[in-house]
Chain A
Amino acid sequence: MWPWLQKLGSPRWFYDLTGRWLPWLVACMALLLVVGIVLALLFVPADYQQGNTIRIMYIHVPFASLSMAFFPLMAIAGIITLVWRMKLADMVAKTAAPLGAWFTALALASGSIWGSDIWGTWWIWDGRLTSMLLQLFLLIGVISLRSALEDADAAAKACAVLSIVGCINVFVIKYSVDWWNTLHQPASPISMSSDQPNGPEIWAPLLIMFLAVALFLAVSLILATRNEILVRERRSQWVQDLVREA
Chain B
Amino acid sequence: MGDYAFNVWSVYVLFALFFAINLFYPLLRRKQILREQKRRQFFQTTAPQGDTAIVGGTPSGPPGDTP
Binding site for B on A (CB under 8 A): 37, 41, 51-53, 55-56, 59-60, 99, 102, 106, 109-110, 113-114, 116-117, 216, 219-220, 223-224, 226-227, 230-231, 234, 239-240, 243-244, 246
Contacts and interface: CB of A to CB of B under 8 A. Distances in A.
B33 A110 contact: no
- List of 3 A-B pairs having minimum Cβ-Cβ separation, nearest first: A223-B26, A52-B1, A243-B37
B44 to A, nearest CB: 10
A60 B11 contact: yes
Interface residues of B, number: 26
A220 B23 contact: yes
Contacts of A51: 2, 4
Interface of B: 1-2, 4-5, 7-8, 10-12, 14-15, 18-19, 21-23, 26-27, 29-30, 33-34, 37-38, 40-41
* B interface SS class: helix
Contacts of B34: 230, 243, 246
B41 A227 contact: no
B41 A244 contact: yes
Contacts of B4: 51-53, 117
A219 B10 contact: no
Nearest to B12: A59
A25 to B, nearest CB: 12
A110 B8 contact: no
Contacts of A243: 34, 37-38, 41
Contacts of B41: 240, 243-244
Nearest to A216: B19
